[in-house]
Amino acid sequence: MKGHACHNFRRMYQHLLYATRDSIATITVNRPLVRNALSVATVKELAAAFDQAKTDPAVRVVILTGAGDKAFVAGADISEIADLDEVSGAEFSRQGQAVFDSIEALGKPVIAAVNGYALGGGCELAMACTLRIAAETAVFGQPEVKLGLIPGYGGTQRMPRLIGKSRALQFLLTGETIRAYDALMLGLVDSVVPPESLLSKAEALAQQIASNAPIAVKLCMQAVNLVRLSDEAALFGKACGTEDMKEGTKAFLEKRAPQFKGR
């Protein structure tokens, strides 16, 4: 990534850092003194930052990480949860779910670069991303039952999809943590790297994805999330109708690199 020009499509955030380089936006949860805990204000800023990445035509891939070397996101801000009742608790959960759902359905791949603790809401945030790369020091878990709670930001749905129902229940019901290489074996993360290589690995993967046709990438993600195979044919047809598909096939036949324009 060195030596490339940055384009400064920026907005100031209190709890996040947002930067773009080439076709990659990097969003960093920046609350290291509280292990990047997810306050309500931080979740709102995440919604705004991902919307910024979504609407920036220059951004093709997003990397999400945490500040410092201790935590990706160590959980929710418990002080904000302690006084919730049944009604306010349900609303609290719905607001977070809406933000995490918007990350999952962004239309652009989101790579979680998990640099430390990803517990509770932090684990749920990582699971809402498209792909997950973990530092060897990363630790995952949904310890909510230890607080008399359950995951409220999608963890009870996304963890079973990623690692299977029975294994997910083991971690959801015990609250025990999962170390990086165990997370890799379970399928919770896609690769594990030394901490010092985490961001460069995420950037390399992001560049690899960004070099492909953006509409095809978006349609591919939509197709994976489909319930019916017949819907895949409609999305395949949609891809066939793009300028990028014409350019990609033409470039292949002409033995040259394609120039994708996202049209």
- Domain ranges for the chain: 16-210, 214-253
Q: What is the largest CA-CA distance in the chain?
A: 64
CA distances from residue 106 to 1, 54, 117, 223, 226 in whole angstroms, order as listed:
24, 6, 24, 14, 15
pLDDT in tens, the chain (263 residues): 333 334 444 568 999 999 999 999 999 999 999 999 999 999 999 999 999 999 999 999 999 999 999 999 999 888 888 888 998 999 999 999 999 999 999 999 999 999 999 999 999 999 999 999 999 999 999 999 999 999 999 999 999 999 999 999 999 999 999 999 999 999 999 999 999 999 999 999 999 999 999 999 999 999 998 767 777 788 778 888 889 988 988 898 899 999 999 99
Active-site residue, from 80, 124, 196, 243: 124
Taking the model in full, what pTM does it have?
Answer: 0.91
Element (H, E) at 231: helix 230-240
Q: Is 124 a catalytic residue?
A: yes
* Rounded (5°) CA angle 7-198-110: 55
254 given a catalytic annotation: no
Question: Residue 145 and residue 107: Cα distance in Å, rounded?
Answer: 33
Choosing from 80, 86, 136, 144, the catalytic residue is 144
**Parallel, antiparallel, or unpaired for β 131-135 and 191-193?**
parallel
pLDDT of residue 234: 81
What is the fold of 16-210?
Answer: 2-enoyl-CoA Hydratase; Chain A, domain 1 (3.90.226)
Question: What is the predicted pLDDT for the residue at 218?
Answer: 95
Burial class (CB in 10 A: 0-12, 13-18, 19+), 85: exposed
